[in-house]
Amino acid sequence: MTFFISGGAKSGKSSLAQDLAVALANGGKHYYVATMISTGFEDDERIRRHIADREGMGFETVECFTDIMACLKTADRKGTFLVDSVTALMQNAMFPAEKNYEMDLAAAQRCADRLVEFAGAVKHAVFVSDYIYADARRYSESTEAYRKALADADRRLAKRCDTVVEVSAGQHFVHKGELPL
Amino acid sequence: MVLIIGGVWQGKLDFAKETFGITDADVFICTNGEIDFSKRCIYSVEEFALYHPDPIGYFEAHRERWQNSIVILRDMSCGVVPLSPEERIWRQKTGRLAQYLSREAQRVSRIFCGLEQRLK
């Protein structure tokens, strides 16, 4: 089963995704795919908080920063994967640190392709993304290109996944499929 | 009239094409304060709202012309209140127009990541 979860910042997406992954694993192997490259204190704090949240839930952590398929080199594809987040993977792929954060549209496309491929390659997956599409700001060209690339990945995953859920203030709206919780 | 709303890049126009069998030739894309209501689908109505001083008044004045239209409007209601007065007024005009059109519509669909959520 595959799940796609999105919503605003601090809406409860990660909590839902964690509970869902544990339920899907049903005692079997479940992986937390760590996607965030820390850029400083704030990120360290966020990562620390997420690790504390997951404590005692039995997750194995696999690090993966751009190509999601790469984590299958070490992880068992018959397991359950929590990918949190699509947003971070896309950012890492599209603005690679090793290329001085210069925009790479081909890499963004590849990142989305690999996510969709991953959804078909593993037993259970829960993808978390961020809904960053409903404000009135005029963004810079590269930021707008990023929003479009992330939206494309979101839409392809939403199409591919069995269940699509929008989270708002901890409440869930199921756009497609069923939420087995 | 059918109103389709949703955030940027969510697939509103693709949804309209798939659901109502329209093509690019049926779509009027707003770029200023005028709308060609002879086209079945009116896209980017938020751009019209940016340039027209009284968007609701304009729709009222042309009421009989859009009764069978598909109107697509971008949701820009979230986020911090924009600093620039232009963007602030734009967001307000677009929000009020969305409410007006939503009241008038037979059907309102919100598009989230390419999926329809029927609001009315």
- B-chain CB neighbours of A175 within 8 Å are 112-113, 115, 117
Residues 6+ apart with CB under 8 A from B60: none
So where are chain A's domains?
Answer: 2-134
Residue A131 pLDDT level (bands cut at 50, 70, 90):
very high
How do residues B57-84 score in pLDDT, each as one tens digit?
A: 999 999 999 999 999 999 988 877 888 8
CA B53/CA A53 separation, integer angstroms = 50
Phi, psi of A131 (to 5 degrees): -85, 100
Q: Beta strand A163-168 with A2-7: parallel, antiparallel or unpaired?
A: parallel
The pLDDT assigned to B5 comes to 96
Provide mean pLDDT across the span A24-51. Answer: 89
Residue B95 pLDDT level (bands cut at 50, 70, 90):
very high
Contact with chain A for residue B11, Cβ under 8 A? yes
Q: Which burial class, exposed, middle or buried, applies to A1 when counting CB atoms under 10 A from its CB (0-12, 13-18, 19+)?
A: middle
Query: Residues of A at the B interface (Cβ-Cβ below 8 Å)?
Result: 4, 6, 8, 131, 133-138, 147-148, 151-152, 154-155, 157-159, 164, 166, 173, 175-176
Residues 6+ apart with CB under 8 A from A77: A121, A122, A123
So where are chain B's domains?
Answer: 2-67+78-118
Q: Which of A71-75, A118-122, B78-82 has the lowest mean pLDDT?
A: B78-82
CA A181/CA B91 separation, integer angstroms = 38
Residue A76 pLDDT level (bands cut at 50, 70, 90):
very high
pTM score of the predicted model: 0.88
CATH topology of domain B2-67+78-118: Rossmann fold (3.40.50)
Domain A2-134 has CATH 2.30.130.10: no
The pLDDT assigned to A39 comes to 82
